[in-house]
Amino acid sequence: MRTPFFAMLHRMRYINRWGLMRNTELENIQEHSHDVAVIAHVLALVRKQYYALDRLCPEPDFVATLALFHDLPEIITGDMPKPVKYHNAPMETTYKEIERDACMTLLAMLPDDLACCYENLLVPDGNDPMISAANELVKAADCFSAYIKCVDEQKVGNREFDRAKLEIRERLAQFDLPEVSWFIEYALPAYAMSLDEIDFDFIPKGFDCTDAAD
């Protein structure tokens, strides 16, 4: 059976973000989804490695895959600016229904035996505690990706993103997750640095995972 599903995913590169704002560099949802997947993966990994006690720990690989697919409905809907999407409760509810319909349209492009494998990635089951935990990490990673975009724009002198950066930082604080705090402390500062400012001296020479395990 032929399927256009993957060709549709390929078109993520044509959907640009931040449509209401002046960008020095365009960002599409394919690029954004990769960033979110990388960050979501490490958030899940940090939870599992450092903060697992009495907590649900979704598999990092699943969290990363969920992140790769989190913006798929925008292939059909386009990127809706947040001031419009969250203008009021009825608008937010309606837009979520539109996004779900878009996901179902994409799933219908797959043969049934494959569609069932993708369903939890496009339409995650909110009643499943483990999937809900994974989705929360993806949402945190989504915020980090947006924050990093603001940092990138500020680095080249674009003040258009100043207020957005402050608002996104407040949203990150509301997650109140230790893995989010870890990323803020240990990973986020380097995004504001130039390549020359990043200190490569801290990288262990001949690092081996067996050493780290000891």
> What is the residue-wise DSSP string for 125-161?
-TTSHHHHHHHHHHHHHHHHHHHHHHHHHHHTT-GGG
Q: What is the pLDDT of residue 80?
A: 79
Extract the tokens encoding 178.
């230790």
Residue 209, pLDDT above cutoff 80: no
Q: Give long-range contacts, CB 8 A cutoff, 24+ apart: 124-133.
A: 124/66, 129/56, 130/56, 130/58, 131/58, 131/66, 133/55, 133/56, 133/57, 133/58
Residue 176, pLDDT above cutoff 70: yes
**Torsion of the alpha carbons at 115, 117, 122 and 128, rounded to the nearest 10:** 130
Q: What is the pLDDT of residue 204?
A: 60
pTM recorded for the entire structure:
0.90
5-193 CATH choice from 3.40.50.720, 1.10.10.10, 1.10.3210.10, 2.60.40.10: 1.10.3210.10
CA 214/CA 210 separation, integer angstroms: 7
Residue range 189-207: mean pLDDT, rounded: 76
Extract the tokens encoding 169.
């930082």
The CB-side HSE value for 116 (13 A sphere, CA atoms) comes to 2
For the chain, what are the domain ranges? 5-193
CA 161/CA 34 separation, integer angstroms: 21
CA 156/CA 113 separation, integer angstroms: 48
Residue range 195-202: mean pLDDT, rounded: 75
Residue 203, pLDDT above cutoff 70: no
